[in-house]
Amino acid sequence: MEKKTFYITTPIYYPSANLHIGNTYTTIAADALARFKRLTGYDVMFLTGTDEHGQKIQRLAEAKGVAPKEYVDEIVAGIKDLWKMMNVSYDKFIRTTDDYHVRAVQQIFKQLYDQGDIYKSQYEGWYCTPCESFWTETQLQDGKCPDCGRPVEKAKEEAYFFKMSKYAPKLIEYIESHPEFIQPESRKNEMLNNFLKPGLQDLCVSRTTFDWGIPVTFDKKHVIYVWIDALANYITALGYNSGNEDLLNKYWPADVHLVGKDILRFHTIYWPIMLMALGLPLPKQVFGHGWLLVDGGKMSKSKGNVVDPVVLVNQFGADPVRYYLLREIPFGSDGIFNNEIFIKKINSDLANDLGNLLSRTTAMIEKYFQGVMPAQSAKEEIDNSLIEMAVDAHKKVEKHMDNLRIPEALDEIWALIGRANKYIDETTPWILSKDESKKERLGTILYNLSETLRIVSVLISPFLPETSIKINEQLNIELTTWDSIKSFDGTRAGSKIVKGEAIFPRIDVEAKIEELNKLKEEQMKANAPKAQMQPLKEEITIEDFEKVDLRVVKVLNCEPVKGAKKLLKLKVDLGGEEKQVISGISKYYKPEELIGKYVVLVANLKPAKLRGEISQGMILAASTDDDSKLFAVTIPKELPTGSVVR
């Protein structure tokens, strides 16, 4: 009988730097789903990879003095090593620099242009390099990117545009008639109400200001912009436009695109519209999971809270990391990573619950039966609840996994582990061992525990593959199929067990946290960017400089601007004349800290309106490149207000 297919994808990661624990979470979740589907009899295609083009990569490579391809090759090698370390069982790893992908994307672009879905025009607006996104003036927040909060650059260039608006009504209808398409439900409402229904703008799909990208075949000064290049990977990996589309015909449409919520818009709006234009079916589901929060916020290099998965695996092993991410992070919501909670979960769930169950069982078989598996020959009523729970577990786990409820699936497995530990206390094998007439009953109890562990081992194999193997080795388990756990008879009596070391040794929480903190400090010192001055701007003449009128002013009053988190409204004295200035420095100064200070004002700046308030100049300040520190330029009080700064 031909197997049912299951196609699951992760986003393709941007190799500007090494991946963090958040990226690892996405990939491990996809891996658990892929492994589970294989276990339950599906023909699985699991795709991951890297999105390697764009201005950001080009600039990083230039700064390092290497070619972009050389730069990404090094990062990609590290990503592949990480996935190997985490036991990620992907079937294909795609790179957008792969020749077959480049050719297929060029053909997609040409097809969309030929059928009138792509047209040439002019783009003028604001561009965020890290996000690779264009924004209008009204979309900016305090003059910065609304997605990441970083500075934007003014961009004006010739570009090709995709007619998103043409397909928007069709997509709205599809989403509303296919409630399973965008999950969780809250994400669906967000896409409809915030982006589609207010009106969808046409999408810029080419660039001319950099050349690290896939060239447009019929207009070589243009490179194909990220959205068509990156999103197309899900079909080019299957052979779309290659001349051999057997894999495409077999696996498409994808069963699940697993993505972070920050890129959901691209996967549920841009990508479906692209597929509609190409005449291809839409993926069955796009699932937008939450962020992994560290120290109460999103991971950020500037905050110094980025968690390196390599450090965690080296310290604790791959399976404890996989377990924490899969069990403790609500699938679809934001979750918290914290070293203390992580270590305590290893001690409680892995060492105490599972590890101790295996150790106790193998120790008793070794002690009372010379390491030979006893037979199930003296059953009693008390055994039934454990056996029934063990035999029913696969149904509950499968139901949760079919609904992408990974933590709930693990809850069911750990409930069975907890029941087995309770069964030991109920049956008191250590007391039975003292009475030779109870030998058969003792053997039955140990068989039941071993068989439960065999079932647990099969159930956890998609989530904790290394642990599953270790259990199998100690109990000499041979039967590990999904069908075998539907009955309670897969352990072979008479087989020789091999008691091993504790699979999860207990960890001294305080000592380990201290060790991790030291490692973090060392890592931050090693990774700290060397002080590097920003390049000087284009030379100006003394005449240019003299156009700027810098004056000493005294801050008379200062208060926050209503409805704006970053803005302060200052009243300043300029030589007896009162001026109003709006300044984005509330993050660095409380209003009362500025009142009475003498600062430097760009006094002849053309007035501008910010959040409904007139600003008649600009306060001079110095800041770090990442804006983590900022200081207004202050001067002694001896100078009268209105004094010229030169």
User: How far from chain centre, in Å, is Cα 252?
Assistant: 24
Distance CA 541, CA 198 (A): 48
- The Cα 451–Cα 489 span in angstroms is 7
Determine if residue 204 is labeled as part of a ligand binding site: no
Decide: 49 and 9 in contact? Cβ < 8 Å. Answer: no
CA 112 to chain centre: 31
**558 labeled part of a ligand binding site:** no
User: Exposure string (b/e) for 392-405, b if CB count within 10 Å is 16 or more?
Assistant: ebbebbbebbeebb
Residue 303's CB is within 10 A of a number of other CB atoms, namely: 13
Give the Cα-Cα-Cα angle 489, 493, 495 (nearest 5 degrees): 125
| Strand (E) or helix (H) holding 426 | helix 406-427
CA-only gyration radius of the chain, Å = 31
Q: What's the CA gap between 337 and 306, in Å, rounded?
A: 10
Q: Where are the alpha helices (DSSP H) in 65-214?
A: 68-85, 99-114, 164-177, 185-191
Note whether 303 and 293 are within 8 A (CB).
no
Distance CA 454, CA 480 (A): 8
Contact assessment for residue 231 and residue 271, using Cβ atoms and an 8 Å cutoff: yes
Give the sign of the dihedral formed by CA 335, CA 339, CA 341, CA 344: positive
Strand runs labelled E in 185-264: 203-204, 206-207, 214-216, 219-224, 256-260
**HEC states along 161-189?**
EECHHHHHHHHHHHHHHCCCCEECHHHHH
Identify which of 591, 589, 518, 529 has the alpha carbon closest to the alpha carbon of residue 559.
591
Tokens of 567: 């803005």
Task: Could you list the residues known to form a binding site, using ranges.
Answer: 128, 131, 145, 148
Residue list, annotated binding site for Zn(2+):
128, 131, 145, 148
